[in-house]
Amino acid sequence: MTTRKTDVDFPPIVLFRGVTVFIIAPSRLPMTRFDPHSNLEEGLRNLLIESGFSKDIPLPSDVPKKWEIFDDVVILPSSAFVSKFWDSVSEPSLWICVAKSLGVERVFRKGEVEGPTRNPLIEPLLMGPRGGWAVRKENGIRYGYDILRCMWSAGNVNERRRMREIAKKGERILDMFAGIGYYTLPSLLADPSVTVWSCEWNYAAIEALKWNLDENNVQSQCTVLEGDCMETVTSLNLKVDRIILGLLPDATSAIYAAVGAMSEKGGMIHLHGLAASGEYEHYSNNWISEIQAASNGFEVHRAAMHRVKSYAPRWDHVVLDVNLIPHYDYE
């Protein structure tokens, strides 16, 4: 077999037993990496030029350096595009420019979470036919929710993963502040034999929770308890093995209702709260004392304290894991 060289830019030609064979090699194009920061800066400069500005005008400092993208949504930080400078630009044009530059369809600006139902303050800047509904994908789980009416904390990702890792076969779990299913869904997906009672009183979160149960095919394993968990839980004769108290800044108000739902065999409570950095022991002791006061039939043993994320300067979101062990185990 011989190869014929030509001066023409054809693919290599091979002569095999008198048959001409063209070997077609894929063309090698230079790799280009999508740089969203450069894309956004270039898009904004073009928009300013179209609006009559000089091409050399410096961009204001409130052009964001970071943002969050999922689904077809970008959520900008609260400090983004807030200076008077942007009043000189058509507002719809600005948000369309941001969307195109970042490869999304909808643009929102972040706010804080307020009120007992944990409603987020999210400002819609460029909307679409889906309104605020979006779907996040995390650790193989799909979380759908209305970002204008329900909260999400990306910093809780490790705690959500941990709930899936520690849930055991056949466990009965009570999630007293379920939201859209942050900890309910990972627990259910740990094993088909796990069952969860999920408490929630925010209608938008309940709607999302039910959608998420269906979407992840675990609806048959979960009972949604709508309303104030202190009332719904105490009205039932629940006997569970694990209880999640995932409310910030403090979930201790639900301790008595939680302990009343614990199986006579005991189990574990995961109590979320805020603790000052470097003072975990102080908060842990106080919370254990409150649990002990509500747990006449149990010995209360601290298992671990987990740091979830930084919540504010000098304050951390933590989870205290506590084992409730029946007194008769010591007799």
* pLDDT tens-digit map of 42-100: 999 999 999 999 988 999 999 999 999 999 999 999 999 999 999 999 999 999 999 99
Distance between CA atoms of 234 and 272, rounded to whole angstroms?
20
Domain for residue 161, yes or no? yes
What is residue 10's predicted lDDT score, i.e. its pLDDT? 46
Which pTM was predicted? 0.83
Domain for residue 43, yes or no? no
Asked if the model's pLDDT at residue 118 lies above 60, the reply is no
Distance between CA atoms of 214 and 217, rounded to whole angstroms?
5
* CATH number assigned to the domain comprising residue 230: 3.40.50.150
Domain for residue 182, yes or no? yes
Contact partners, residue 33, CB within 8 Å, separation at least 6:
none
What is residue 116's predicted lDDT score, i.e. its pLDDT? 56
Asked if the model's pLDDT at residue 242 lies above 70, the reply is yes
What is residue 94's predicted lDDT score, i.e. its pLDDT? 97
Residue 278 burial (10 A CB sphere; 0-12, 13-18, 19+)? exposed
Domain containing 188 equals 153-330
Q: pLDDT tier at 6 (50, 70, 90 boundaries)?
A: very low
What is residue 15's predicted lDDT score, i.e. its pLDDT? 46
Asked if the model's pLDDT at residue 162 lies above 90, the reply is yes
Domain for residue 108, yes or no? no
Domain for residue 252, yes or no? yes
Domain for residue 76, yes or no? no
pLDDT per residue as tens digits for the range 210-227? 999 999 999 999 999 999
Q: CA angle, corner 79, sides to 78 and 83, nearest 5?
A: 130
What is residue 327's predicted lDDT score, i.e. its pLDDT? 81
What is residue 8's predicted lDDT score, i.e. its pLDDT? 46
Asked if the model's pLDDT at residue 313 lies above 60, the reply is yes
* Mean of pLDDT over the chain: 89
Q: pLDDT tier at 35 (50, 70, 90 boundaries)?
A: confident
- pLDDT > 70: what percent of the chain? 86
Domain for residue 306, yes or no? yes
Asked if the model's pLDDT at residue 321 lies above 50, the reply is yes
Q: pLDDT tier at 17 (50, 70, 90 boundaries)?
A: low
Q: How many domains does the chain have?
A: 1
Asked if the model's pLDDT at residue 155 lies above 80, the reply is yes
Q: pLDDT tier at 23 (50, 70, 90 boundaries)?
A: very low
Domain for residue 232, yes or no? yes
Distance between CA atoms of 168 and 189, rounded to whole angstroms?
11
Distance between CA atoms of 70 and 102, rounded to whole angstroms?
11
